Amino acid sequence: MQMRWWGWAEPDAPVEVSEAGEAMLRSELGLGDERTPPVALEDVRLPDPRPLPELGAEVRQDRETRVRHAAGRSYPDLLRLRSGDGSGAPDGVVYPASEDEVATLLAACAAAGVAVVPFGGGTSVVGGVEGLRGSHEAVVALDLARLDSLETDRTSLTATIGAGLPGRTAEARLQSRGFTLGHFPQSFEFGTVGGYVATRSAGQASSGYGRIDEMVRGVRCVAPAGTLEAKPVPATAAGPSLLQLLVGSEGAFGVITEATLSVRPLPAESRYESWSFRSFEEGCDAFRAMEQTHVAPDVARLSDAPETRMAMAMSSHGGVVERLGRAYLARRGHGSGSIAIIGWEGEPGDVARRAADTRRALREGGGLALGKGPGESWLRNRYLGPYQRDELLGRGMIAETLETATSWSNLGALHAAIHRALRETLAGRGTPPIVAAHVSHMYPSGASLYFTFLARAQRGEELEQWAAAKRAAMEAIVATGGTITHHHSVGRDHAEWLEAEIGELGVEALRAVKERLDPAGIMNPGKLLSG
């Protein structure tokens, strides 16, 4: 399975907008019938590759390989690729097979002034893998695909995994040995283990299994200045955490080559179901109580009213589902409420006990049980979003996501501020949007908010339209006390706001680390740290 050079993957079945979804997008956003396919691969405009030094590993400079490493999968990335703009393509793609080859390559690039972009699955949605040459002589993408080892320690319940191993492949190998990593981000089909670690990824089951930064026990990282190792000990008091400095470093300090992570026995049973709340606020209160009393499930996802409405309309049988679902919920006083997806995994007895505790908390919080159907449907389709986005982009729509997190006491204010910023900005450009959000990651002190917004694209001004919406949302996040990113990382798109997150001195401290580990400044320029 391989990603399309201009989008996500070829779907197993055609991805179509349901009749109800089509009607909603036509009436609210002005969706038309015109379709704009991506240009042909041979028509992508590429700069001539610049000369590269001897790099000590396999190098490819053919058109398709360069295009496939030209960008991630953010809206601006996809817009450029689909239109044939390959200006972000690297001059070459190198495939090291060992840490020694990585070290040789970095030394050669530092001496020659060649920028290096570590490349895993290419699924970044924040501009994290674009080849920004800047003042460097050339740029190469360092594809980690050949670093694909996996070893398990049954006694310690850990796995040591090569950074280039795709998450789906790692999970398949682990499951064949009776384990699971339990990390299932929406990029699961293509994201790599090294990419998860480098971006502080959070999977959809993080309430039960934890974020990737909670799973990581050790990391090896090859920097231009040398090799760093955070040893996989269970805990340490040996100063500030080198491990956590490398986790989330986004390839700006060096190349993560290997990570040791906690694993769990493969669950014998899983249960997924759906609940409804009269309002998003009521649902958030129930989720908070559930988390703080330690009865949260492994998967807990709460959609606000717009996302609930959109999900019903966009499902494969949207019209029927929406009519029947709305009628039932209206009779129960949940006519404009919020839907929650709840899931447990583990041994049968443990799942039954935990499910009983969770359900009790949900009922006490005003929840209405809707049965297994919607929950199991979500589980089957949880990786479908990027495929639907490709379809919508071809129909002249802007479809983008962003995420943040804040305290429970501030969650409602932040939710309202981002909604308002996106609606007012896009409506002000003559393209009123649908703005939807959900909670998908919970902590005792707060929770995440994951937003999706759809609007009719402004032909010829798509990037300006996106930038205006992004800026408005980011400024609302900063002003209202949210984090600039909960799990998509900083990349290029959020670098401007890093100082607002960690302060001027914090940014200077990270720059000092980068200057020590990467004196020539060749590692993933323009990402994490702007300028």
Distance CA 70, CA 32 (A): 30
Q: Output the pLDDT for position 318.
A: 47
| Among candidate residues 195, 202, 125, the one with its CA nearest the CA of residue 165 | 195
Asked if residue 451 has pLDDT above 80, the reply is yes
Residue type, 420: R
Q: In this model, does residue 317 exceed pLDDT 70?
A: no
Distances (CA, A) of 251 to 32, 103, 116: 41, 14, 9
Amino acid symbol at 474? M
Dist CA 68 CA 130 (whole Å) = 11
479, 417 contact by CB (below 8 A): yes
The answer to whether 342 and 299 are in contact (CB under 8 A) is: yes
Using the predicted structure, report yes or no on whether residue 341 has a pLDDT greater than 90: yes
**Residue 316 confidence (pLDDT) above 60:** no
**Gap between the Cα atoms of 250 and 57, Å rounded:** 22
Q: Supply the pLDDT for residue 16.
A: 78
Mean pLDDT on 135-150: 97
Segment 267-314, tens digit of pLDDT:
999 999 999 999 999 999 999 999 999 999 999 999 999 999 998 888
Tell me the β-bridge partners of 345. 270
Region at 127 (left for phi over 0; alpha for psi -120 to 50; beta for the rest): left
- Strand pairing report for 138-143 and 114-119: parallel
Average pLDDT in the 231-244 region? 96
Tokens 């990029």 belong to residue: 187
Specify the long-range contacts of residues 358-363, CB closer than 8 Å, at least 24 apart: 358/290, 358/295, 358/296, 358/297, 360/295, 361/286, 361/289, 361/290, 361/293, 361/295, 362/275, 362/286, 362/290
For 35, 190, 385, 423, the CA distances from 15, given in Å and listed in that order, are: 14, 18, 10, 27
Phi, psi of 456, deg, nearest 5: -70, 130
* Mean pLDDT value of segment 229-257: 97
Q: Which residues of 120-159 are buried (b: 16+ CB within 10 A; e: fewer)?
A: bbbbbbbbbbbbbbeebebbbbbbbbebbeeebeeeeebb
Strand order of the sheet with strand 226-230? Answer: 150-153, 158-162, 255-262, 216-223, 226-230
Over residues 453-489, the pLDDT tens digits come to 999 999 999 999 999 999 999 999 999 999 999 999 9
State what percent of residues in the chain have pLDDT above 70.
97
430 pLDDT higher than 70: yes
Between CA 372 and CA 272 the distance in angstroms is 6
Cβ atoms of residues 245 and 338 within 8 Å: no
CA distance 430 to 58: 50
Average pLDDT over the chain, rounded to whole?
94
SS3 sequence, 40-92?
A: CHHHCECCCCCCCCCCCCEEECCHHHHHHCCCCCCHHHHHHHHHCECCCCCCE
Going by DSSP bridges, is the β-strand pair 338-346/299-303 parallel, antiparallel, or unpaired?
Answer: antiparallel
Encoded tokens for 312: 């019903």
pLDDT tens digits for 33-92?
A: 889 999 999 999 999 999 999 998 889 999 999 999 999 999 999 999 999 999 999 999
What's the pTM? 0.94
| Mean pLDDT, range 207-221, rounded to an integer | 95
- Residue 336 and residue 330: Cα distance in Å, rounded? 8
Look at 383 and 321; give whichever has higher pLDDT: 383
